[in-house]
A and B are shown apart, each in its own frame.
Chain A
Amino acid sequence: MYWEKEVETMDRSALAGLQLGRLNESLTRARGSAFYGKRFAGGASSEGAQPAYAGTPAQPGGYAGTPAKPAGSSIELSGLEELTDLPFTTKDDLRNAFPYGFLTVDLQEVIRLHSSSGTTGNPTVVFHTPRDIDHWGNLIARCMYTTGVRKQDVFQNMMGYGLFTGGLGFHYGAEKLGVMTIPIGPGNSKRQIWFLKHLKATVIHILPSYALRLYSFFEEMQLDPKKDLHLRIAFIGAEPHSEEIRRKIEELYGIKVYNSYGLSEMCGPGVAFECECQVGLHVWEDHFYPEIIDPVSGEVLPEGERGELVLTTLTREAMPLIRYRTRDLTRFLPGECPCGRTHRRIDRITGRSDDMLIINGVNIFPIQIEKTLMAIPEIGRNYLIEINKENFMDRLSVKVEINEEVFHGTLAELEKLQIKAVAALRAELGVTPNVKLVEPSSLPVSEGKVRRVYDYRGGEQGGL
């Protein structure tokens, strides 16, 4: 049931000890980069451009002891709580330091670059040493094993390969686990279904929006994924999505669906993952130290309160990040998980701190709209949110597809549905939206990440 029982079920005080040792090592290593070297200047940062970390062995036990810190360093922490005295690192810091400002090793030690999609300014680039890649693969193997994937499974990886971390991250993890991996990537739905059917894939990794879209191709090909496939598990991630969407995918395909969380700045997927209990995602605390902060004040919030997730890498070699603001909103779930793992769980991501929409002074997260729409059976699987200015007021419009399975062909039922959707959204949001019913497949669909929010109030903003 556990991939690495000792680590996954380690008691909290031992885990804290492991974290502190690795944290101090990370801080020391971070000072080898131009960015942190400058930020943490004041101590003896004489190691400069010749960091000696690339050869550190990949044994988990190798970190538990006192890190080899340079004499006179001013940032040796004596407790994890002291981390809150250090400043945050932001995505803008990464952009401004493009390309090598965060790199702590010589380029010849680097074997991989990933980059996150950025529409403005420099992209964010993240570097990996062989050991970083090895750790990452091991984390994904741990995630997959946790949900019951074993060597005999067949894994069809429908996430994008390339600069995006979703495809390659899972690919290496699945191989480490010993699972036959079909590196098909996203798109070409009919071919996806052909492979699923004929190679009897049992496990998939897919964007939640694509899982819903793919289902319509099964209908078209007159196949039933419950009867015609051997699928049993799906991993979904890379897009914020509601619990209702997860349950819908489970129901449509007759499988178990697990939430995956990660971001390319940390490594990619593999930062936090659901176990078989499907209640929250365990943050792999032997590799990442999580905090939840108030996104406005920056203060660490009391356990259980919702705020922005901040992560510090504990084992990353090429590019350690200290108190990185993920912009993802979540909270720690209280209590212990019945699975026996001691690593704390975060709740599903309910949005990004920069995704929040302010409509006439009311704060709204797109996920609230999704959750409300998915609870109305007459509404289909796709939707789009638009915000306009009308007479100096914000106007929220939601375009929804109707569910053809419950369409009886009368105008009256459509008028009722429209009224029902407006009422449900008003109750959830406290704002009265304009609901437009649109034909299925008339909304833009993509096989990559779906952009569902279009804000037309003076300059576009707010895509997911």
Chain B
Amino acid sequence: MGVQLSVFLENKPGKLEAITKILSQAGINIRGISMASEGEFGVLKVLVNKPGKAHEVLKREHFTVSERNVVVAIVDDRPGALHDLLLTLSSQKINIEDCYGIVLEEGGEAAIVLDIEAYPQAEKVLAQKGTRLLSDGELYSL
């Protein structure tokens, strides 16, 4: 299990750039990023190497930030690998709030970042299936 930051944003030019600027000035490295928008506003999910510090610097700049627990699973970079992972979760009726993937290495592995309310249960069933899950340390140093 790891932590990613969820940031409230107005849908306006320059908003994302303001966040990347703050993170870059604080020497924070972005591991993964995803954005969901309703039209006028949206929520940015960002996985970073130092979530605590990133939270602090964004809050200092008056952004509305929340920490979300995520499960990061490693799958092979091959057809059907993500399907197998999702099947494991859906067969247990575990709902995913949102997710995105990062290919770690061409033809090697991919990391799937899963925002799941019932993350302890998800971790359990995935571990039983032999899915490799990243620990905090591995996650932040992807």
Contact = CB atoms under 8 A, between A and B. Distances in A.
Interface of A: 220, 402, 404, 407-411, 414-415, 436-442
B11 to A, nearest CB: 10
B64 interface: yes
Contacts, number: 55
A442 B36 CA distance: 20
A56 to B, nearest CB: 55
Listed residue (B8, B36, B42) with the most chain A CB atoms within 10 angstroms of its CB: B8
B60 interface: yes
Nearest to B6: A409
Contacts of A220: 60
A411 B38 contact: yes
Listed residue (A407, A408, A442) with the most chain B CB atoms within 10 angstroms of its CB: A407
Contact of B64 (A410, A411, A440): A440
Contacts of B59: 404
A407 B42 contact: no
A438 B36 contact: no
B60 A402 contact: no
Contacts of B66: 404, 407-409
Listed residue (B42, B45, B62) with the most chain A CB atoms within 10 angstroms of its CB: B62
Nearest to B9: A439
Nearest to B42: A411
Contacts of B41: 414, 436-438
Interface string B37-67: 1101111010000000000000110111111
B106 interface: no
Contact of A437 (B6, B36, B40): B40
Contacts of B68: 408-409
B43 A414 contact: yes
B42 A436 contact: no
A165 to B, nearest CB: 33
B40 A436 contact: yes
Interface of chain B: mostly helix, strand, loop or mixed: strand
B10 A442 contact: yes
Contacts of A410: 6, 43, 97
B43 A411 contact: yes
Interface of B: 5-6, 8-10, 36-38, 40-43, 45, 59-60, 62-68, 97
Contact of B38 (A404, A407, A414): A414
A404 to B, nearest CB: 4
A439 B64 contact: yes
B64 A407 contact: yes
Given A414-B38, A437-B41, A407 B60 contact: no
A407 B5 CA distance: 12
Contacts of B6: 408-410
Listed residue (B60, B66, B68, B97) with the most chain A CB atoms within 10 angstroms of its CB: B66
A402 B43 contact: no
Contacts of B62: 439-441
A402 B64 CA distance: 8
Contacts of A436: 40-41
B38 A415 contact: yes
A409 B37 CA distance: 13
A409 B97 CA distance: 11
29 contacts: A220-B60, A402-B8, A404-B59, A404-B64, A404-B65, A407-B64, A408-B6, A409-B5, A409-B45, A409-B65, A409-B67, A410-B43, A410-B97, A411-B37, A411-B38, A411-B43, A414-B38, A415-B38, A436-B40, A437-B10, A439-B8, A439-B9, A439-B62, A439-B63, A439-B64, A440-B62, A440-B63, A440-B64, A441-B62
A404 B37 CA distance: 18
Contacts of B43: 409-411, 414
A407 B8 contact: yes
A400 B45 CA distance: 22
B10 A439 contact: yes
B125 to A, nearest CB: 23
Contacts of B38: 411, 414-415
- Closest A-B pairs by Cβ, 4 of them: A409-B6, A409-B66, A441-B62, A404-B64
Contacts of A408: 6, 66, 68
Contacts of B9: 439
A440 B64 CA distance: 7
A402 B9 CA distance: 11
B51 to A, nearest CB: 12
A408 B59 CA distance: 14
A189 to B, nearest CB: 14
A436 B9 CA distance: 12
A362 B63 CA distance: 36
A440 B8 CA distance: 10
A402 B66 CA distance: 12
Nearest to A403: B64
Listed residue (B41, B60, B63) with the most chain A CB atoms within 10 angstroms of its CB: B41
Contacts of A411: 36-38, 42-43
Nearest to A442: B10
Nearest to A399: B10
A415 B43 CA distance: 11
Contacts of A404: 8, 59, 64-66
